[in-house]
Amino acid sequence: MNLLSPPPQLIRPRRHGDARGWFTETYNHDTFAALGISCTFVQDNHSLSAPQYTLRGLHFQTPSRGQDKLVRCIRGRIFDVAVDVRRGSPTYGKWVGAELSAENGQQLFIPIGFAHGFLTLEPDCEVTYKCSDTYAPAHDGGIRWDDPAIGIDWPLPPGVPPELSAKDKVQPLLADFDSPFPYDGCPIAPLS
């Protein structure tokens, strides 16, 4: 685990366009290192969420198999969220979120020690993300997407429940979670 990880960051890759379309560099080791992101990505994931308002999260992997993630939406739009779950952090239980879309091309970097989740804002959303460790079922964890102590302002229409997996319906509340993630001295900050 990176002892001095940066907080979650919104990444805005530059697009170079012409009459044919555009080109963008979604990951460059040196560019990310200049932002303080020095992890090595070893696994890429790709999900399709068919129904609008599918909610996936809030997920993480526990040490020694924690995962930094670099998330982007390649079709549709999502509301992507990171929640600080590092014990002793002055921003424990606080969250940041951003709309990621195929159109805006933005990405969210989520370091180890943060729970991650997203809500699809359109049907048939595709999300890809890079991870700094491979999937380890014995280290799979999560917390409730609707925990009132966290208070995520999910952009759901009034009275519309999200589509959830069976696992996400029964995740523990933050108050019942004994965090194995240490605070590294870097509090969560608003996304800019």
Residue positions annotated with a catalytic role: 59, 129
Cα(24)–Cα(151) distance, integer angstroms:
35
* DSSP single-letter state for residue 133: S
The letter for the amino acid at 28 is N
Q: What DSSP letter does each residue of 51-117 carry, written as one string?
A: STTBEEEEEEE-TTS---EEEEEEESEEEEEEEE--BT-TTTT-EEEEEEETTT--EEEE-TTEEEE
The letter for the amino acid at 103 is E
